[in-house]
Structure 1
Amino acid sequence: MKMVFAYVLGTLILLPIITFFIAYLIFRKFLKKKANYSFRLAADVTTFFLFFSVVISISTLWGTTISIAAITISFLIAIIMTFIDWRTQKEIKVIPLLRRIWRVQFVYLFLVYNIVWIVGIVQNILLFIT
């Protein structure tokens, strides 16, 4: 049973798109809300898996550990968004700010994940050809 759980968790971390679709289908089925709401919740769940996926993918492809860099960039995004929120609004509303930060993290990590995979695939194809 432990091995099945480990394989499922490993697949969800390695392929967060599967995590996104599973979460979307579950939220869509059980919450009976609009598709936009289910999409947002699925993105929130997937963000957690993307943190690990990007770090593991880069570590596997190039043998470099970027955990500290990923955490630093995430904190910088949070700091910049908090500063912008502080400058544009009279009062900072914490929950909406955290939600926006988390969703920007999703976009950032999703883009990095796709770039890493595309570069990795191209790199391996070029190694295979030569």
Structure 2
Amino acid sequence: MGNIIASLIATFVTLPLLGWIVCYALSLKITKDKKKAFKISVDFTTFLLIIACHYLLYEISGKSFLWVIIITLILTGVLFSFLHWKTKEELKFFKIMKGVWRFNFLLFSISYLLLLMLGLTHRISVI
């Protein structure tokens, strides 16, 4: 049973798009609302993309860049907090965190695609 769960997690981390599709299908079945299901699946997939980018960076360079990922998450949080404070003159923590998390979905989606292409070209050029 543990091997099955580990295999599922490894598959979703390796292919975050598959995780998004499965999460979207499940949340659509539960909520019956496409917009809410989309947001739930984006929130879930952000976590998968962060882990996938970490492992892609590790495979390409042989070094862990988890500290860069954590600093990126913190800096986007600080930037969003500052921008929210400048425009609204008050801080709403939950709203800021939703914005940061969804922005990180876009950021890490692009990073994942770029790292995937870089990793493939790196492996092909080694052969």
**Is residue 16 of structure 2 the alignment partner of residue 16 of structure 1?**
yes
The residue correspondences of 1:1-130 to structure 2 (distance < 5 A) are 1-33=1-33, 35-128=34-127
How far apart in 2 are the matches of 1:115 and 1:36? 28
Shift of the alpha carbon at 1:61?
2.1
Contact 2:60 2:122 in 1 (8 A): no
How far apart in 2 are the matches of 1:90 and 1:70? 29
How far apart in 2 are the matches of 1:62 and 1:94? 36
- Find the residue that maps to 1:7 and give its secondary structure: helix
How far apart in 2 are the matches of 1:66 and 1:99? 24
Give identity over the alignment, percent.
22
How far apart in 1 are the matches of 2:50 and 2:125? 28
How far apart in 1 are the matches of 2:119 and 2:93? 38
Q: Let me know the Cα RMSD of the aligned residues.
A: 1.1
Map Cα deviations across residues 20-76 of structure 1 (whole Å, 9 max, x no partner): 00001111111011x222111100001111121110111012201100011001100
Count of residue pairs the alignment pairs up: 127
Map Cα deviations across residues 97-128 of structure 1 (whole Å, 9 max, x no partner): 11111100111111111100011112222233
| 1:66 counterpart letter in structure 2 | F
Which consecutive segments of 4 or more residues in structure 1 shift more than 4 A?
none
TM-score (normalizing by structure 2): 0.94
TM-score (normalizing by structure 1): 0.92
Unaligned runs of 5+ in 2: none
How far apart in 2 are the matches of 1:49 and 1:68? 17
